Structure 1
Amino acid sequence: MKNSISKNIRLQKDIKRFLCILSILSFLSCAISIPEKKETKKVSKVTYRERGIASWYGKKFHGRLTASGEVYDMYGISAAHKTLPLGTVCKVTNLRNGRSIVLRINDRGPFVKGRIIDLSYGAAKKLGFAKEGLTEVLIEANVKKKRWIGDYSIQVGSFIYKKNAVRLKNKLAKKYGSAFIEKYNDGKNTYYRVKVGHFKTPNSANNVMKKLSKEGFDAFIVSNK
């Protein structure tokens, strides 16, 4: 009888110890847990909207320098745009599935006609079109008017061989006056980009870009900043 009582007492003590340890572990897990970061769902005071086709760029550019000087991480969340000021935070919505993401513009592109934004692979995956490669999106951003005033040009061509760039530049200079070559190195390759004009805003470059497009050039407006 005494043995049975002592066993019950020991069992009760063991249970109390276990519950005490469990409560301590539970407290510690709450104390050291890091709250999950929530993505911003809205861009305050939207002053810029653009709708069009988005694509993503990956392995070929992974680890190379972006236009902002940052190293491109295809698995991160970022994007390239031709004219939005570098550093602009914008909301991109995939109009085919309703998914959206907030990201920062840190590169220039896409240099393909008909596309308005190039996303990192990580961003494309979150928006649900990494497999397809292309989708229709809506870009929303808060860009102050004064930030649009800068130096914009029309890119007409990009070459690996400088002599080809010089040939095109000379041809364009005869008709449009201001044509120049911009040397760009992405950390692996050097490119010679042929550009026309210096404009204060993207809108002021539109007429010249339309003329170049009618002549068969794959021309688009880019920011020189």
Structure 2
Amino acid sequence: MYYFRKNSSKRLRHLPIGHLLAITVVISFLLSAAFIADATAGKQLATQNPYVINNTRYYPIPSAQGYNEQGIASWYGSDFHGKRTSNGEIYDMHAMTAAHKTLPMNTMLLVKNIANGKETIVRVNDRGPFIRGRIIDLSYKAAQKIDAIRHGTARVQIVAIAKRNNGINGQPSALAYNDLSAGEFYVQIGSFSKKINAIKLQKRFTETGHTTVIQKYYGSASLLYRVQVYAGEYLGIAKRAERALIDHGYIGAFIIAR
């Protein structure tokens, strides 16, 4: 596993895995006390508030821009049909919807079954799944589209492509699908209301050779300071960096593409 230092020529500097793991273990206690959820611009929706399921706290992220993830998808059907979803809608197992633990509601996702290449588009309107290792719960209809019904689960790639707008029949009138395989990637590891806490976390990483920045975010209630670690120019490498941080307690860590 590697983390990277960004310099003026954009050359990448590797750090050994042992060094990285030691750093993340030492720092992990900082976020346990000070990590807070980002707020959406304007009035914060209830679905964007932090919540706790099975003693795990989840922090919905303010934006799905650049979101790209691989993992296990499951589906839910008749047992939940007709019941309310997390955003107050009535769940329809025959609609093209999905549940995600942290993405904003109404995020449109391209879901690809890695095993067979089948793709479909869903809209996030619920929270879940809350089973370790699963990243998305698809409606019955969406799971049918990618041939995931029989096995119950499928390894998928999910990419945020747009938010629902006023297109025909609730579908987006335009989808912006970006090539995210290369670019400039950061992993956000914390969001603090007190700048001093953000600086402390930034310092820990910069002292060990990681390019780390603090971005200001003006939320509905206060000014927040986001700490982001440079993770390289290739998405695959950035995903490995993100995974290392998540595995060491940074549950809210996620990739940002610039």
Please classify the TM superposition score into its range, dividing by the shorter chain length.
0.3 to 0.5
Q: Larger relative CO (CA 8 A, sep 6+): 1 or 2? A: 2
Point out the structure with the larger helix share.
1
Q: What TM-score do the two structures reach when normalised by structure 2?
A: 0.40
